[in-house]
Amino acid sequence: MKKILTLFFACALSMAMQAQTKHNVYVWVDGEKTLIENADSITFSEPTTPPAGDEEAVDLGLSVKWAQRNLGAENPWDFGTYFAWGEIEGKDNYEWATYKHGTSYNQLTKYVSSVGYGLDGFIDNKEVLDESDDAAAQLLGNGWRMPTPEEMQELIEDCTWEEDYDMGVGGLRVTGPNGNSIFMPFAGRMYGSILFQSNASGYYWTSSLNEKANVQAKYLCIAPNGQEVTCYNRYFGFSIRPVKK
C-alpha cells in the first residue's frame, strides 16, 4: 500500500508541474493493474476507517451479526485464542487446577444454580455470564459479546452449512438467508496443554451455563457431518465467535 501511495503521490506532483500535459496512469488494486488514459489530475480522498470492530460484523440476515473470525484470530482461517468458559484470557494449560471459577466439579465458586456443585454449598443462581466474564465483551467492546444458545441454534437452523477450506484450513462455510457467509474453522479444543481434533471439528462457547449440570456450559459443536448445541466441562479451552446487534 505504501508503494502504491508513493506512486500516486509522484504522479500527482508530476501533473501539478505539467498542468497542460495529460498522462496515462496505471492503478493496482489487489494485484490487478488498470490503465486510466489521458488523466489530467489526481485527487486523493481522506481514508475512511470503520469504527473499532464494525469491519468484522457480518449480517447473515439473522437476529444478530456475526464476527468474521474467531476471537483472538487475525484471519478467518486462524483458530484464534482458546478460552475456558467464563475466562477472558487464553492460557497454556486448561484443567481444573487453572480454572478461574473453581478447582473441581463440586467446588465451583461462581455460576452455580444447582445443589452439589458449589464450594461448601455455594449457590449464586447465575446461569448466564456476567459481562465481566464475557471474553468477547471485554476484549472487543463496542457491543460485541458471546452468543446465546438460542443464537447458535438460529445459526444452525436458518443457515446452510457446507464443508469448505480457507487457506488450506478445514471448516464450514455458513451462509445466511441473505446470501452473506462466514467461515468457521475446525479449531479443535484444548485439554491440558494439548490441542485435540483440530481440522476435524470445532467447539464454540455460548454465554450460558448447563443449568442441570453446572460443571458444564453450553457450546456449539461443528463437524463435517452436522452441528448441534450441547454441553461440556467448563475448564476446557474452546473457541469463541462473537456476535453483536
Same domain for 92 and 167, yes or no, is yes
Residue 24 structural domain? 2-39
pLDDT tens per residue, range 154-202: 999 999 999 999 999 999 999 999 999 999 999 999 999 999 999 999 9
Is 46 inside a domain boundary?
A: no
Exposure letters 40-64 (e unless 16+ CB within 10 A, then b): eebeeeeeeeeeebeebbbebebeb
Same domain for 35 and 58, yes or no, is no
Same domain for 34 and 59, yes or no, is no
Is 95 inside a domain boundary?
A: yes
Is 68 inside a domain boundary?
A: yes
Same domain for 110 and 30, yes or no, is no
Same domain for 230 and 171, yes or no, is yes
Give me the number of domains the chain comprises. 2
pLDDT-derived band at 9, boundaries 50, 70, 90: very low
Same domain for 108 and 143, yes or no, is yes
Same domain for 58 and 28, yes or no, is no
Same domain for 11 and 88, yes or no, is no
CA–CA separation, 129 and 20 (whole Å) = 66
Is 238 inside a domain boundary?
A: yes
Same domain for 17 and 63, yes or no, is no
Same domain for 15 and 115, yes or no, is no
Same domain for 166 and 234, yes or no, is yes
Is 67 inside a domain boundary?
A: yes
pLDDT-derived band at 26, boundaries 50, 70, 90: low
Same domain for 233 and 144, yes or no, is yes
pLDDT tens per residue, range 109-152: 999 999 999 999 999 999 999 999 999 999 999 999 999 999 99
